[in-house]
Structure 1
Amino acid sequence: MTASVLSSSFALLDERIQRFIWAEGWESLRDAQEAAIPLILPAERDVIVAAATAAGKTEAAFLPALTYLLQAEEHRLIVYISPLKALINDQFGRLEQLCEQLEIPVWPWHGDISSSSKTRFLTKHQGVLLITPESLEALLCNRGTAVSAVFGQTAFFVVDELHAFIGSERGKQLQSLMHRIEIAINRRVPRIGLSATLGDMRLAADFLRPGFGERVVLVESKSSSAELKILVKGYEEPSVLEDEGEDIEPTTPGLIAAHLFKVLRGSNNLVFPNLRREVERYTHLLNEMCLQQRVPNEFWPHHGSLSKEIRAETEAALKQKEQPASAICTNTLELGIDIGAVKSVVQIGSPPQVASLRQRLGRSGRRKGEPAILRGYCIESALDPRSSLSSALRLDTVQMTAMISLLLQGWYEPPLSKGMHLSTLVQQVLSVIAQYGGATIGQLYSTLCAQDTPFQGLSKEEFAQLVRHLGSKELLIQDSTSLLLHGRLGEKIVNHYSFYAAFATDEEFRIVSLGQTLGTLPVSQILTPGQRILFAGKTWLIEDVDEPQKTIFVVHAHGGVPPSFSGGGGRIHTRVRQEMRRLLELSELPPFLDEIVDEIAKRFLAEGRKYYADRELSAEYVIDQGREIMLLTWLGDSANEAIAALLARRGFIANPAGPGVEVRKGEHTVGKVLEALRDAAVDKPPPLDMLLKDAKNLQREKWDWALPNDLLHKTYASHYLNIEEALEWAKSVVGR
């Protein structure tokens, strides 16, 4: 007799599901399943289930939800929404066997599914529908009159990888789609959120049910996680002065690749170098080593720019058990695609966020009795008289160490749930009009922007301004009865398949100097002419920014300290920067860190601490770097960007740079910079149109081009500027 028989939650499940569990040889239900089953089964409340990867979250949702379907007096529907087609395919494979025994149909629905299968679902609309937000969007747009019939018997929305939606355009789109379906069927549908990584469960609850987050029931797994083994290795790049002429190919990637080849061969692993170009570099180096050693290739690439066929080859290599395989990847393999057991996770350079590192580590240590293993590689430049502040403080090593420290403390970034995503509002306005064949401005506002709706917080006046602006862009027109319809451009856009995605494909800015393209660079902060950037190992001065063409025009900037900004990377939270500062101020490493850092990485930390102490940076916040002044804030990127914007409003060229803000001197003195900070501290916060007047690169989301300037400023600030934290820091400076 299994332990499951003695479980009160197990006894609530349908007898056929109990038999399936017995046949599968389960010893017991997981703690999250025990807690979730009685909450979900009545289909009366919203629930979030948060647990580690492979801790049974999917079963925690589907076992009670399928029991509900079996006990219902009429045919009902479960709508499972996933961020990835590959995850839908995985879940179909997991559910098909069980649901076949239960005689419950399972319907995968995405771009690769045949139209005949979709037609059969639309005829029956019962069982389990596995769908992406984009396909759900297409359903509402193209079958608007049938929405109430198709979804009328929906018993649950199940949202997988909830953390992947929070704070994104797709997340706001998903909120809107679920809300619109509930309007069409005139009732609330219980929502179940599944996630492995949530920094603040209550913020996640507010996301799952806007306006009623306090009613969402939270289930957090308390089961102990696998043992965690960590090793951080340091590598030092030889010093190459910028003006010495020819570029020198760094040797460090080759050394790291050689170490990876030695320690990873013979097992399955995931290697995260963060950038796509680095994925290609390390895959090439490791493939060449396999050829040289005349051994079968074990290293495969995986990133968003590769074709789905190449990505599928990598996923298949990881799943099969005959030959070991390691994927060199970006965050495309962070989410819960079934890739089998992974022995270790490799992080080259600091991860984008602590939450990201936690999610990646969830892939390792999934076999019973095996530890989760993290291998971290830090790369620093050898010190010379022209070393930047970032190099002198060894900030890459300090940041990775700080993130691991926070991970071990159990902290990770809370969800970014307060972004307005007015870009997605533009899409949803066009989509609602497609669904109903037209809509009044009042209907659109009450559906999308009123109290407890996905875009609440936008006033009626602002919404009317948006609608007028969409009319000027030929996205909307109004007929003689005041009904809003698609305009010339709007109709063309909505009728193209690309409309259904709320997000734009990742684009990088081209870097052009004297007519020659130097390469491309991902950019995640404000750009302004006069700002300096680091690219291809050299410092460049921005002359102009062509936003529509995604092009930055630069000239070579001779001399000066290299800037910290080099594009790309995740946005760093203030808590991470504060932990970095704490590590620099300690006299010795905490024991748990001392055991995981190798001698070179320890030397980097010691060098960073010595520089920090010698320069008395614990008390100093203004560093004169010659042509630039560094304001050392130790704040997160959103606060630093707000400080830069406050200074730019007062005529300075300023940009966020790692743990602070770099300010070009020009004709300004340190005193004038401090005076500007004092003014900012005592003045009222400036209007956003004034604060962001000359800022470039504000159009980050797909439909930002269709927003009037003041709403573009408002949506940008909601995502990227922490003005309150910036002003608090400025006031603290005045206090000193």
Structure 2
Amino acid sequence: MAEQQSSSFELLDTRIQRWIWTEGWTELRDAQELAVPVIVNAQQDVIIAAATAAGKTEAAFLPVLTHMLRDESALGLTIYISPLKALINDQFGRLELLCESLEIPVFPWHGDISSSLKSRFFKRPAGLLLITPESLEAMLCNRGFAVPKLFANLRYLVVDELHAFIGSERGKQLQSLMQRIDVAIGRKPPRIGLSATLGDMRLAADFLRPQGGAAVEIIESKSSGGELKVLIKGYVDSVPKVDADEADEESQSKTSIAQHLFKTLRGSNNLVFPNSRAKVEQYTYALRKMCDDARVPNEFWPHHGNLSREIREETEAALKAKDRYTTAICTNTLELGIDIGAVKSIAQIGPPPSVASLRQRLGRSGRRKGEPAILRGYSVELALDDKSHLLTQLREGLFEMGAMVSLLLEGWFEPPKASGLHLSTLVQQLLSLIAQRGGITAGEAYRILCESGPFHSVGKPDYVELLRHLGEQKLIQQEGSGLLLHGDKGEPLVNHYTFYAAFSSEEEFRVVSGSNTLGSLPISSAVSVGDFILFAAKTWCVEEVDEEGKTIYVARHITGRAPPFSGHGGRIHDRVRQRMRELYESTQPINYFDDVASRLTVEGRQTYSRYALGQRQFVRVGSNLLLFTWLGDGANEALAAMLRGRGFTPFVSGPAIEISGKNVDENRITDYFNELAAEPAPSPELLLFDTFNLSQEKWDWTLPDILLKKSFASLRLDIAAAHNWLTANADLRPKQG
């Protein structure tokens, strides 16, 4: 490295400069050059946005450590917050040798760390603390009175994988923890967010510093990736028999895809994303069996959240090993920045959860200089017969994948959704704040958490209603002096180790038909009587929902195409559906589709043209009516809720809303929509009047009904987009054809 060419290099501590030389660096990367002068004086909130393995960690820690070394007698403390224990272990491995030479202690902190190391930190809280939000929550709860002293010399708060927190309950918890630390020490140490590039970095800035995002410096790496090679392969499965076993439903395509993966991936390191844990197991089993049958060493390993830590680490170690080749079949557990080395390619089976997710996954490939990033997509469509549903004829899944790849190639990805109320986590943080302080007044808790904190969308009337309801449930109580304390039922909940996590594990509902229990199903959407669910490769109509008993009572129902009512996959954005429509209306071939996918594209476009979907919105399919909106899931679910409120039986089906019933009249629906367009957007309470299973988050069960509806709507529905669509289409009368 030519020192005179890098002013940022000159700003680093001389011992860190020597370390950079020893590591053989020839230059600082662009994000590092830009970050060092902004971070080194600890006066600025910063987001460093760059692709995986672009040097974000060093861009943050080299100036952070330089600042800490300016006064070695009072190093101070930097807290690094990670979404994963595995990332903490990775960063500890990366920082340990450097920090040892600088005599700066590093404390990895999670459930697997010894109590003796933690005791050393409490005796001298200085250096680097690498911690998860849950462990930080436990520290604030259990050592609340010591927090001002523990964090008195806090220099920086560093948040890794910032994009993974935004819009989630865990993210809202993280914002609250950082706010509570600021309040405890009476100042605002700078926050540094490390993130993949997002669709709107200003939203990320507002997340990092709520109500102060405008002052956050955003450093975006300009180093573009190398060449990207994309191939989407199409497959056609025979139509499953009515009584087919669920395990056999995709056997034809699964075998073909596994054979292609076996042929193309052996002899290199790769990641395969099949979109569900069950499919991870199925593909791993099939690929391992192929290795056995061919009498070759196994190269295929599973990785998902239900596996033990030891099994996951075994897969990660296999990917990093230099003496063998490994392909991991995984869920989004390997999307984040765990160090697994470079992989040659990414395989995506079925549409990804989002464009942003696909981009994050693809960031693992093409990291070696001169090597392209490689994406292979696999799309499965059903063979057509005289009973094929219209969406099957449209080849919807293939067009969804094509739209996502198209947007990825243009550099677009979904902006983070950061507008939810997250009242579930507000309850947790209120209980935690009471534990930290040993009691707190209602007014002070409101100022910390809402007025100047991350829950600033919660107004005083809703806050007062929440406190009243928590008091009725004996989760909190108010003593004569006005202090809020834990109630009889609140105290044991806060004292249990499960309290520290803001998110809940996915709850499953028993599915019962008559006297037969069909099994259990994770349900992540609101459910109403008359909705349809897909279970055991059959369609069922919901007859009754017992929320307390976590049971759904169903009756067998024959429809051409059932809605995917389990919790797999992501929330599809409006822009993806709009791009799908553009692909349908185009006559140009999609150059990254193989021959089969291209043939299926022609079929889909012919269907789109035959039904005149460019000019009409209503199409009758058997006894049902399809309303094509080409909106994202949030807006479509809001429109479906509006229809449900008028006695219709709708469910969201991709780019359309399917309305069940022979007597469904297009003119009635249009008249109703025209009425709604002339009125203000409906309130969540009205929209979700007769809807079940709204308790999606960990503490939703504590909310009064009106606040539960508000919170659910803010997280799951896009009422504004739905109402805008109604306004834009108010004068469109249904056209017969």
Query: What TM-score results when the alignment is normalised by the length of structure 2?
Result: 0.97
C-alpha separation between the residues in 2 aligned to 1:516 and 1:231?
45
Deviates more, 1:151-160 or 1:259-268: 259-268
Query: Cα distance 1:600–1:278, how it changes in 2: closer, same or farther (>3 A)?
Result: same
Q: Secondary structure at the match of 1:29?
A: coil
Deviates more, 1:509-518 or 1:306-315: 509-518
Question: Equivalent residue for 1:35?
Answer: 34
Which residue identity does 2:22 align to in structure 1? A
2:500 aligned with 1:504: no
2:4 aligned with 1:11: no
Deviates more, 1:663-672 or 1:336-345: 663-672
Q: Secondary structure at the match of 1:152?
A: coil
Deviates more, 1:656-665 or 1:209-218: 656-665
Question: Equivalent residue for 2:136?
Answer: 136
Question: Equivalent residue for 1:694?
Answer: 690
Which residue identity does 2:630 align to in structure 1? W
Question: Equivalent residue for 1:234?
Answer: 234
Cα pair 2:239 2:382 within 8 Å, conserved = yes
C-alpha separation between the residues in 1 aligned to 2:721 and 2:730?
14
Deviates more, 1:538-547 or 1:114-123: 538-547
Cα deviation digits, residues 21-63 of structure 1 (max 9, x gap): 0000001000000001000011001000000110000000000
Deviates more, 1:542-551 or 1:487-496: 542-551
C-alpha separation between the residues in 2 aligned to 1:149 and 1:331?
38
Which residue identity does 1:664 align to in structure 2? S
Cα deviation digits, residues 159-186 of structure 1 (max 9, x gap): 0000000000111001000110110100
User: What is the aligned counterpart of 1:718 among 714, 720, 728?
Assistant: 714
Which residue identity does 1:626 align to in structure 2? G
Question: Equivalent residue for 2:315?
Answer: 314
2:200 aligned with 1:200: yes
Question: Equivalent residue for 1:536?
Answer: 536
C-alpha separation between the residues in 2 aligned to 1:87 and 1:244?
42
Query: Cα distance 1:142–1:469, how it changes in 2: closer, same or farther (>3 A)?
Result: same
Cα pair 1:530 1:653 within 8 Å, conserved = yes
Deviates more, 1:38-47 or 1:725-734: 725-734
Query: Cα distance 1:467–1:566, how it changes in 2: closer, same or farther (>3 A)?
Result: closer
Cα pair 2:244 2:537 within 8 Å, conserved = no
Offset, 1:723: 1.1
Cα pair 1:48 1:193 within 8 Å, conserved = yes
Return 5+ residue gaps in structure 1 as ranges.
none
2:556 aligned with 1:556: yes
Which residue identity does 1:598 align to in structure 2? D
C-alpha separation between the residues in 2 aligned to 1:694 and 1:70?
61
C-alpha separation between the residues in 1 aligned to 2:676 and 2:363?
44
C-alpha separation between the residues in 2 aligned to 1:9 and 1:127?
23
C-alpha separation between the residues in 2 aligned to 1:307 and 1:248?
27
Question: Equivalent residue for 1:472?
Answer: 472
**Moved beyond 4 Å, runs of 4+:** 243-249
Cα deviation digits, residues 74-110 of structure 1 (max 9, x gap): 2211100000000000000000010011110001111
2:681 aligned with 1:685: yes
Question: Equivalent residue for 1:256?
Answer: 257
Cα deviation digits, residues 458-517 of structure 1 (max 9, x gap): 122211110111112221112222211111221111111110000011334443333434
Offset, 1:525: 2.5
Q: Secondary structure at the match of 1:417?
A: coil
Question: Equivalent residue for 2:699?
Answer: 703
Question: Equivalent residue for 2:655?
Answer: 659
Which residue identity does 1:690 align to in structure 2? L
Cα deviation digits, residues 403-461 of structure 1 (max 9, x gap): 000000000000011111110000000000000111111111111111x3110121222
C-alpha separation between the residues in 1 aligned to 2:105 and 2:354?
39
Cα pair 2:229 2:375 within 8 Å, conserved = yes
Offset, 1:140: 0.3
Question: Equivalent residue for 2:19?
Answer: 20
Question: Equivalent residue for 1:351?
Answer: 352
Return 5+ residue gaps in structure 2 as ranges.
733-737
Q: Secondary structure at the match of 2:74?
A: coil
Identity %: 58
Which residue identity does 1:538 align to in structure 2? K
Cα deviation digits, residues 334-378 of structure 1 (max 9, x gap): 000111111111100000000000000011111111111111000
Offset, 1:619: 0.6
Q: Secondary structure at the match of 1:378?
A: strand
Query: What TM-score results when the alignment is normalised by the length of structure 1?
Result: 0.97
C-alpha separation between the residues in 2 aligned to 1:430 and 1:20?
46
2:585 aligned with 1:605: no
Cα pair 1:197 1:355 within 8 Å, conserved = no
Query: Cα distance 1:515–1:310, how it changes in 2: closer, same or farther (>3 A)?
Result: farther
Question: Equivalent residue for 2:392?
Answer: 391
Question: Equivalent residue for 1:650?
Answer: 646
Cα deviation digits, residues 645-703 of structure 1 (max 9, x gap): 11111111112110021112354322222222122111232232121011112111110
Cα pair 1:4 1:26 within 8 Å, conserved = no
C-alpha separation between the residues in 2 aligned to 1:145 and 1:662?
56
* Count of matched residue pairs: 729
Offset, 1:545: 2.3
Q: Secondary structure at the match of 2:357?
A: helix
C-alpha separation between the residues in 2 aligned to 1:442 and 1:621?
51
C-alpha separation between the residues in 1 aligned to 2:133 and 2:164?
12
Which residue identity does 2:139 align to in structure 1? L
Which residue identity does 2:700 align to in structure 1? D
Offset, 1:6: 2.2
Question: Equivalent residue for 2:180?
Answer: 180
Question: Equivalent residue for 2:80?
Answer: 80
Q: Secondary structure at the match of 2:669?
A: helix
Q: What is the root-mean-square deviation in Å for CA atoms of aligned residues?
A: 1.5
C-alpha separation between the residues in 2 aligned to 1:97 and 1:266?
33
Question: Equivalent residue for 2:291?
Answer: 290
Q: Secondary structure at the match of 2:440?
A: coil
Query: Cα distance 1:242–1:678, how it changes in 2: closer, same or farther (>3 A)?
Result: farther
Cα deviation digits, residues 214-250 of structure 1 (max 9, x gap): 0000000001212111111011001235378998543
C-alpha separation between the residues in 2 aligned to 1:242 and 1:3?
70
2:215 aligned with 1:215: yes
Deviates more, 1:15-24 or 1:710-719: 710-719
Cα pair 1:525 1:641 within 8 Å, conserved = no
Offset, 1:321: 1.7
Cα pair 2:532 2:563 within 8 Å, conserved = no
Cα pair 2:246 2:536 within 8 Å, conserved = no
Cα pair 1:197 1:359 within 8 Å, conserved = no
Which residue identity does 2:110 align to in structure 1? H
C-alpha separation between the residues in 1 aligned to 2:265 and 2:548?
44
C-alpha separation between the residues in 1 aligned to 2:405 and 2:245?
38
2:116 aligned with 1:119: no
Cα pair 1:83 1:161 within 8 Å, conserved = yes
Deviates more, 1:241-250 or 1:274-283: 241-250
Offset, 1:389: 1.9
Cα pair 1:197 1:358 within 8 Å, conserved = no
Deviates more, 1:57-66 or 1:4-13: 4-13
Which residue identity does 2:369 align to in structure 1? K
2:56 aligned with 1:53: no
C-alpha separation between the residues in 1 aligned to 2:56 and 2:185?
28
Q: Secondary structure at the match of 1:562?
A: coil
Offset, 1:617: 0.4
C-alpha separation between the residues in 2 aligned to 1:246 and 1:61?
49
Question: Equivalent residue for 2:735?
Answer: none
Offset, 1:121: 0.4
5 Å-filtered alignment, 1:161-176, equals 161-176=161-176
Q: Secondary structure at the match of 2:489?
A: helix
